[in-house]
Structure 1
Amino acid sequence: MSNNPYREDREALKELIIQYQHLKHGRSHPYLEEEAFERIIDYYDEKDDLQEAMEAADMGLEQFPYSASLMIKKADLLLATRKYKEALSLLETAELFDSTDLNLFILKTDAYLALDQPAKAAELLESALQLFDGEERLDLLFELADVYDDYEEFDKVFDCLQLILEEDPNNEEALYKICFWTDFTGRNEESIKLHQSIIEENPFSELAWFNLAAAFQGLKLYEKAIDAYQYAVAIDEKFDYAYRNMGDAYLRLRKYKEAIEVLEKVLELSRPEDVIYEAIGHCYHRMGKYAQARFNYKKAVHLNAGDSKLHYKIAVTYMLEEQWQAAAKQLENAMRMNRTIPEYNLAMGECMMNLGKFKDAIIYFGTAVKHKSKSVAGWEALLRCLINADMLEEAYEQCIAAFMATGEKPVFYYYATAILLELGRTKEALLKLEAGMEKSPKLLKKLLDLNPSVLQNNQVVDIVARYKKGKKI
């Protein structure tokens, strides 16, 4: 007996092709069985010689005109050459001779989809489900799920995957796919019940634990999600996606130390990614460890130098340490990529103001409010800068503009009060203060931040005292 069955099979196929060529050219040859033609068609199909494969199919059908399997082979080739209607017609003929071939339904589905008839494809597969069981039924369910996806019946995609897992709880393809569709359709409760039942039967299915955790996470049940992810990584300690999602869950719970630990595990198990370094940087940032935050943000930048947001985040860590020059350098990098983003202009304005470069700061703050005119924070930053630069007339004009642009936010009554008091326009200042106290007395702290000595003014104190007692003028 041969020790190399693969070689024997290859030699047999080679001999078959020679016999077929003899038949094709009218030479003497042994009789070719139906199965031989199927192998010949497959051989040419795999070599991407569709014309030769089609000729073999036609010759086979000349000898075996009632062969459903050869008709199906030819229909497959017709689909590959975009002859969809011809393929569909041939498949309907094949169905008369053999309606139990799974490929018949798969190819008819492909034809209907190619002809932009997804409803017919779905109807065909739904009826075919009654005819098959076992692996063939599962194949049909996967095919039906793809049809529903094309048809944008997304809940039905979930239903198909659920049916597959009810029949085959360990089906990896379905376990992978249903995680995405659970998130997409929001059917987290059903996913939890499904995967809990799978885990009861197979407690060592790391994918089932992962999907269960993801469904908990979808419902914002982060503690339960973390518990399930921990089971997943206990079964498969190299399950990097479980560590990744667990890191996100810890972040949501503001457990930054734990998040860092699992995110660093992701870096050990998979290729470095900017988003992971960025997430670790965010954790250190929230913990007030700005140097370590910067270290990780910079690692993220090395992997994704074109992300302006990363340069901005590095700048913010410098700003929190009052390292204005270093922050400005990072913001320059960010603004080379995106000059008009209001947050970048606000931050740069803050740096320039703290470096005493008021003219530059005003330009940056002005750009911020130009691109985001309803932002109270942008207007406040511009007004503070103008006040610090002792440009009080300009500050008052901009204060009126801010009031109008933001829909008459009461905070600007207090800015107007501070500016008018500095300009010596006390009567107008007191009227603005009264208007502010009428609309929002809690914002009085804005005035005190701008001018702490304002409470030494008896007229101001009188107005504040009256409103504190609940009285109006």
Structure 2
Amino acid sequence: MQLSNEEEDYNLSLSKFESMLKTNKVLFFDSEEFEEIILHYLDMGKAALAKKALKLALEQHPKSTGLKLVQVEMLVYDDKLELAEKLLNELYAIEPTNEEIYIQKANICSKRDQHEKAVELLRIALKYTDDYADVYNLIGMEYLFMDNLEMAKESFIKCLEEDLEDQSALYNVVYCFEFLDQNQEAIAYLNKYIDKNPYSEIAWHQLGRLHYGVKEYENAIRAFDYATLIDDEFLGAFMEKAKAFERLKKYEEAIESYERTIELDDATSYALLRMGKCYERLGNKALALKYFNQTVHEDPLLDKGWIAITDFYVRQKNYQKALFYVNKALAIDNQNRLYWKRFATINKQMNFFEEAEFGYRKAVEFGDYGLDTWLFWVDILQFLGEFESAIQTLLQASEYFPEENEVEYRLAGLYFMLTDNTKAKFHLSNALRLNFDNYILLEDLFPVVWAKKMVQNYIAKHKKQ
């Protein structure tokens, strides 16, 4: 590829400067060359070299405004805001129409969280600048700092009107629309943008994402198709397209798109997992299992991979294999509530009730407060005859579900079992109030209690009220 004259000159300046540093000979550079060299080192994060270049530059060009503005930028970078401000005021006295002075003043205000003042200064810069896009972009960023998404959006749109190719502004516009829950407005905006810039793969990709977000999957796929036609190595667009195909239950097309992502880059655990899911839905169990195994091999810490294998075997009713994999998962992460719940459920299916009780206890301990988890745990405690523990667990559950009839019926049943009739009637009364028809739970879970005449009379009495 041919380098432009500008690029060649820039590379020559850089190598000439680095050669000077090695030989300690002082060579002459014009002020613009120095500016480019300093900014190059700043961009590379080589602050020491940037400072060395600036010192030499100011020795050779002590009156250069451009170099002094670079000096301001470096002072701001080092948080020496008072020094930077003093130098800017000196420059302002010499060149009051230099837009860069206002931009740097705004930068200092921004660092001090004076974002409204920064916007005022940037609006003055607009009067003197030729680069409107850059200033509008900076104004947009200040509004983002102030959480004024509407004004930020407006500024980024103005930036794009000046420079259609500004990708960061395009991303920021879409971010603002999404944050403001204006997905349809964002779609309309991107369609207009694409009319002006039809070969922007970023715009097509963002349009696809937005269509996906509002469940317009066919339109999403069309947009992702354009993105991948423009850039046939656009990994993100292939990934999103695969997800949209999945939503439409077009699993073969989804697999094709996931495969393309693997061709473009190393296989991700996410793509492997989704391919496994697609193959399972197509009824190809062998390939599903192959990809699930590859998923956990690729990323042993991805819980979704272990869960996919475990659930696969649960659906096959192969509980021995399911238990084997959930135990492997727990050996890697024994604080994962999703693993513990599956451990409990599988053991329950295999009639290992003590292990199941332990699993549900651990699931709750690590943050699973779902109603079904509490109830499964309590029912196993009851089955094991641990009525007191079951009651304590239900009382804990009632803190999360204070008006849940299933909790109240169980408490009533357990208190009747312990012949604490006062508490039993209190909870039965609550349960009947919350859902009268569900009294059948007593018959299912506590047949001994259900057979009591006193309980039958209490329910009948409640029905008449």
**TM-score greater than 0.5 by the shorter chain:** yes
* Structure 2 contact 382–390 (Cα < 8 Å) conserved: no
Query: Could you say if the C-alpha distance between residues 398 and 43 of structure 1 is closer, same or farther in structure 2, counting changes exceeding 3 Å?
Result: closer
TM-score normalised by structure 2 residue count: 0.74
Letter in structure 2 aligned against 1:126? R
Give the Cα separation in 1 of the matches to 2:318 and 2:10.
76
Give the Cα separation in 2 of the matches to 1:429 and 1:88.
76
1:124 matched to 2:118: no
* Structure 1 contact 346–381 (Cα < 8 Å) conserved: no
Query: Could you say if the C-alpha distance between residues 57 and 208 of structure 1 is closer, same or farther in structure 2, counting changes exceeding 3 Å?
Result: same
Give the Cα separation in 2 of the matches to 1:379 and 1:54.
69
3-state DSSP of counterpart to 2:128:
coil
Query: Could you say if the C-alpha distance between residues 126 and 434 of structure 1 is closer, same or farther in structure 2, counting changes exceeding 3 Å?
Result: closer
* Structure 1 contact 399–412 (Cα < 8 Å) conserved: no
Once the two structures are TM-superposed, the CA of residue 291 in structure 1 deviates from its matched residue by 5.0
Query: Could you say if the C-alpha distance between residues 103 and 377 of structure 1 is closer, same or farther in structure 2, counting changes exceeding 3 Å?
Result: same
Give the Cα separation in 1 of the matches to 2:209 and 2:350.
48
Name the counterpart of 1:85.
82
Name the counterpart of 1:57.
58
Give the Cα separation in 1 of the matches to 2:154 and 2:10.
46
- Structure 1 or 2, whichever has the larger Rg, is 1
Name the counterpart of 1:36.
30
TM-score normalised by structure 1 residue count: 0.73
Further displaced range: 187-196 or 100-109: 100-109
Counterpart pick for 1:190 among 166, 172, 185: 185
Give the Cα separation in 2 of the matches to 1:82 and 1:400.
58
Give the Cα separation in 2 of the matches to 1:234 and 1:434.
66
Counterpart pick for 2:169 among 174, 183, 190: 174
Counterpart pick for 2:397 among 391, 405, 415: 405
Give the Cα separation in 2 of the matches to 1:44 and 1:198.
36
Letter in structure 2 aligned against 1:107? Q
Once the two structures are TM-superposed, the CA of residue 127 in structure 1 deviates from its matched residue by 2.1
Once the two structures are TM-superposed, the CA of residue 99 in structure 1 deviates from its matched residue by 4.3
Letter in structure 1 aligned against 2:85? L
RMSD: 4.9
| 1:297-338 C-alpha deviation (Å, 9 max, x unpaired) | 322212211234432332222222222222222222332344
Give the Cα separation in 2 of the matches to 1:14 and 1:126.
39
* Structure 2 contact 132–162 (Cα < 8 Å) conserved: no
Further displaced range: 220-229 or 252-261: 252-261
Name the counterpart of 1:326.
321
* Structure 2 contact 13–37 (Cα < 8 Å) conserved: no
Once the two structures are TM-superposed, the CA of residue 137 in structure 1 deviates from its matched residue by 1.0
Counterpart pick for 2:334 among 339, 359, 364: 339
Letter in structure 1 aligned against 2:90? T
Name the counterpart of 1:366.
361
3-state DSSP of counterpart to 1:130:
helix
Counterpart pick for 1:227 among 219, 222, 232: 222
| 1:340-371 C-alpha deviation (Å, 9 max, x unpaired) | 44443332123223334333223223334555
Further displaced range: 273-282 or 245-254: 245-254
Percent sequence identity is 24
| 1:444-471 C-alpha deviation (Å, 9 max, x unpaired) | 77678769x99xx9x9xx99xx99xx97
Letter in structure 2 aligned against 1:272? A
Letter in structure 2 aligned against 1:93? E
Letter in structure 1 aligned against 2:125? A
Give the Cα separation in 2 of the matches to 1:443 and 1:340.
35
Give the Cα separation in 2 of the matches to 1:37 and 1:80.
21
Counterpart pick for 2:234 among 220, 235, 239: 239
Name the counterpart of 1:270.
265
- Number of residue-to-residue matches in the alignment: 445
Give the Cα separation in 2 of the matches to 1:306 and 1:8.
47
Letter in structure 1 aligned against 2:104? L
Unpaired segments ≥5 residues, structure 2:
42-48
Give the Cα separation in 1 of the matches to 2:38 and 2:319.
70
Letter in structure 2 aligned against 1:405? A
3-state DSSP of counterpart to 1:129:
helix
Query: Could you say if the C-alpha distance between residues 151 and 438 of structure 1 is closer, same or farther in structure 2, counting changes exceeding 3 Å?
Result: closer
Give the Cα separation in 2 of the matches to 1:421 and 1:293.
49
Counterpart pick for 1:300 among 283, 295, 304: 295
Query: Could you say if the C-alpha distance between residues 286 and 86 of structure 1 is closer, same or farther in structure 2, counting changes exceeding 3 Å?
Result: same
Give the Cα separation in 1 of the matches to 2:394 and 2:359.
16
1:201 matched to 2:196: yes
1:312 matched to 2:307: yes
